[in-house]
Chain A
Amino acid sequence: MGALLQLKNLRKEFGSHLVLDNICLDFSQGSATVVIGASGSGKSTLMRCVNLLEELSDGQIILDGEDISTYGIDLDLVRGKIGSVFQAFNLFPHLTVLENITLAPRLVQKKSKAEAEARAHELLKRFGLEDKADAYPNLLSGGQQQRVAILRAIATGPKILLLDEVTSALDPVLIAEVLSLIAELKADGITMVISTHEMGFAKRIADRVVFLSNGAVLEEGTPREIFDSPKTTELKTFLGALQDAGRL
């Protein structure tokens, strides 16, 4: 069986500015890939290209054997198969936690209210958020909001989960609770692509680490290969900077 997700010669330009340069990556079923790189290296754009929030300038994205980058494809159908979580939690402020989580299952997957709510309660209970089901997002801590956002993304049972700097807006205690949730999902076998600045977490959870610099993949390998024996000067400089900042 081939990879679950394949990126082939992905290129993205904003005007004349090249943001992603010939990205070729395969993501196998059940794997966790961590994308690292400095701000502006193209991590978020890569994520946004995969869930089709950005149009590609060139290249192909193959999800589960289907080319989802061809023009005229049903975007809503494809996005239903990809779960996305952003740095700013983007919960819907006018809906309760339960309504946030059940919205897509009900509208996109046409599940009954009872069925969707049962599934949502199950998820909330498992991750210790059961008592927040009827709360509105603005009454939750940042960590709780981000955990709800992740549950909202997996409630539809997506084939792959994209997590774009999901802990960047949180303090260390809140980061820990979000990361332990992600680790559990990984144990469940959900395929994940994660961009993060939490290197300790990357070492623990990643099957593979991809280093992006100026929109190109400069290195990829196991966490050990990337963190212990960087080859390129760019990665060495990046890791050095993290070390100086006490982030490694």
Chain B
Amino acid sequence: MSYSPSVLQIQREEARRRASRRSTAIALLSTLIVGLVLTAIVVNAQGFAAVRESFFNWHYAEKSFPRIFQGILLNLRVLLIAEFFVLIFGLAIAIARTTTAPVLYPLRLIATIYTDIFRGMPLLLVLFLVGLGIPGLRLPYVPNSAVFLGTVALVLTYSAYVAEVIRAGIEGVNPTQRQAARALGLSQSQTLQHVVLPQAFRNVTPPLLNDLVSLQKDSGLISVLGAVDAIRAAGIATAQSFNFTPYLVAGGLFVLLTIPLTRYTDWLIRRQDKAQRAQGVF
């Protein structure tokens, strides 16, 4: 039997196509108008010529690019290593905070104090305290490089954020799931590993990735310790030429660096929405 839609169905689909074409046209038109107005405002501004000269100078962009590109590779290395440790420590802290055994109370207390402190403290301060304080202690075997200490500071701060996200995920898993697992004879840790955590991570993937995107861009802050990353390289180039274009180049590279993960996050959220609708939740 071939599919033969009713007249009503055909009319409805036709109307929907018309509406969709109209929406696209309106969106294009409004984007065009907003773009033209904004351009007109900027171009006609009194200092436009000067700003263009000092921020959008192709000559300096080209000249500074190789150094800044070297710098962004350092950022990439730092953030990959930081993300790895942030996920591990974040998970450990989240688990510590959700335990209930009385014997683990000290662990819970430490985890709570840790997240309170590092979620509240500005990253810049943590960078200064770690980057300048630890070398001052003259500890044996601890490297004093700005890159190493900067990465440590990033991990300290972001582990606290990520721990809270994962904790929310763990607490969001329906308690009946734990009960069902315990009733089957699974131990506490088996329940956590095989039943609770897989569901917890699924629930919090979007906010988790959001924090990782944020970490990616904040990896640029290690430049305050003197590490020659993209921002530092841009700063050096600017100091030589008194032209700010290199900063814009670095900024562009950072945006490019974060876009893949941002798009991936959007895609994941859309997919979860779809899966829920397939279950007929709405």
Interface residues of A (CB under 8 A from B): 51, 53, 75-77, 79-80, 82, 84, 86, 88, 90-94, 103-104, 107-108, 138, 152-153, 156
Q: Add 12 more A-B contacts to A90-B176, A108-B190 (CB < 8 A).
A: A51-B183, A76-B186, A84-B183, A86-B179, A86-B183, A90-B177, A90-B179, A103-B184, A104-B184, A104-B185, A107-B194, A108-B186
Kindly provide the distance from the CB of A152 to the nearest chain B CB, expressed in whole angstroms: 7
Q: In whole angstroms, how far apart are the Cα atoms of A108 and B191 in the complex?
A: 11
Count of A-B residue pairs with CB < 8 Å? 56
Residue of A nearest to B275 (CB): A138
CB-CB under 8 A from A76, the residues of chain B are 182, 185-187
Task: Tell whether B133 is near chain A: CB-to-CB under 8 Å.
Answer: no
Which 9 pairs, one residue from A and one from B, show the smallest C-beta to C-beta distance? A80-B185, A90-B180, A104-B184, A108-B185, A84-B183, A79-B185, A94-B198, A76-B187, A107-B190
Task: Tell whether B24 is near chain A: CB-to-CB under 8 Å.
Answer: no
Kindly provide the distance from the CB of A227 to the nearest chain B CB, expressed in whole angstroms: 31
Task: Tell whether B195 is near chain A: CB-to-CB under 8 Å.
Answer: yes
CB-CB under 8 A from B181, the residues of chain A are 92
Task: Tell whether B199 is near chain A: CB-to-CB under 8 Å.
Answer: yes
Interface residues of B (CB under 8 A from A): 176-177, 179-187, 190, 194-195, 198-199, 202, 279
- Name 9 interchain pairs, CB-CB below 8 A, sorted by A: A53-B179, A76-B182, A88-B176, A90-B176, A92-B195, A103-B186, A103-B194, A104-B184, A104-B186
Q: In whole angstroms, how far apart are the Cα atoms of A153 and B182 in the complex?
A: 12
Interface residues of chain B: helix, strand, loop or mixed (majority) = helix
Query: Is there an interface contact between A79 and B184, defined as CB atoms closer than 8 Å?
Result: yes
Q: In whole angstroms, how far apart are the Cα atoms of A154 and B180 in the complex?
A: 13
Residue of B nearest to A152 (CB): B184
Q: In whole angstroms, how far apart are the Cα atoms of A79 and B191 in the complex?
A: 14
Q: In whole angstroms, how far apart are the Cα atoms of A165 and B218 in the complex?
A: 54
Q: In whole angstroms, how far apart are the Cα atoms of A156 and B181 in the complex?
A: 13
CB-CB under 8 A from B198, the residues of chain A are 94
CB-CB under 8 A from A93, the residues of chain B are 199
CB-CB under 8 A from B184, the residues of chain A are 79-80, 84, 103-104, 108, 152-153, 156
Residue of B nearest to A109 (CB): B185
CB-CB under 8 A from B186, the residues of chain A are 76, 103-104, 107-108
CB-CB under 8 A from A108, the residues of chain B are 184-186, 190
Query: Is there an interface contact between A86 and B185, defined as CB atoms closer than 8 Å?
Result: no
Query: Is there an interface contact between B279 and A138, defined as CB atoms closer than 8 Å?
Result: yes
Query: Is there an interface contact between A86 and B199, defined as CB atoms closer than 8 Å?
Result: no
